[in-house]
Amino acid sequence: MTATTDPYMQLLGLKTQLLEPGKAVVAAQVKPEHLNIHGSCHGGFLYSLADAAFALASNSHGTPAVALSTQMQYFKAVRAGEYLEAHASEENLGRRTATYRIEIRSGERVVALFTGTVFRMEASG
C-alpha cells in the first residue's frame, strides 16, 4: 500500500503529512465549504480527516484493511480558517483485526478523538 491520497481526500483538501507503519498524519485547513448550519466546522469533515489518517495507518502494513467500527468524540467547536492535523497511532495490531486512535489537533488543543477498528483481509495472490 503506497497510495497516500485518494479522490475523496482531494475533494476535501486533505494532505498526507506522514505515513509509516502503524502511523499517519493528515492535515487540512477548514474552508467555508466545510461549515455546518451553526457556522462551525461540520462534524462529517472532522470525521473524514480522522478517517483518512485511520485508513492510511491501518493499510500501512501491506495487508488490506477495511473499517468495521468507529467512534468519534467531539470536544471543541472548530472555526473556518483553523489548520487541523489528525494523528493516527496503533492501539492494537492483531492478526485479523487492529485498532487505531486518531487525535484531531488545532495547534495545542485536541478538538476531537476518533477510535477505529479494522478487519484485516487475507493477502491476495
Query: Which residues contribute to the site for its own copies (CB under 8 A)?
Result: 1, 3, 6-8, 10-12, 32-38, 42-45, 47-49, 51-52, 55, 59, 64, 66-75, 77, 91-92, 94, 96-97, 99, 110, 113, 115, 117, 119
The CA-atom distances, in angstroms, between 1 and each of 19, 32, 64, 125 are 11, 33, 8, 14
Nine-digit cell at 109? 488543543
The CA-atom distances, in angstroms, between 43 and each of 53, 90, 100 are 16, 23, 19
**59 φ, ψ to 5°?**
-95, 10
DSSP 18-36: EEETTEEEEEEE--GGGB-
Nearest distance, CB of residue 43 and its own copies, angstroms: 5
CB closer to its own copies out of 11 and 123: 11
Nearest distance, CB of residue 41 and its own copies, angstroms: 8
CB closer to its own copies out of 83 and 92: 92
Nearest distance, CB of residue 122 and its own copies, angstroms: 10
CB closer to its own copies out of 79 and 96: 96
Nearest distance, CB of residue 14 and its own copies, angstroms: 9
Residue 94 DSSP label: -
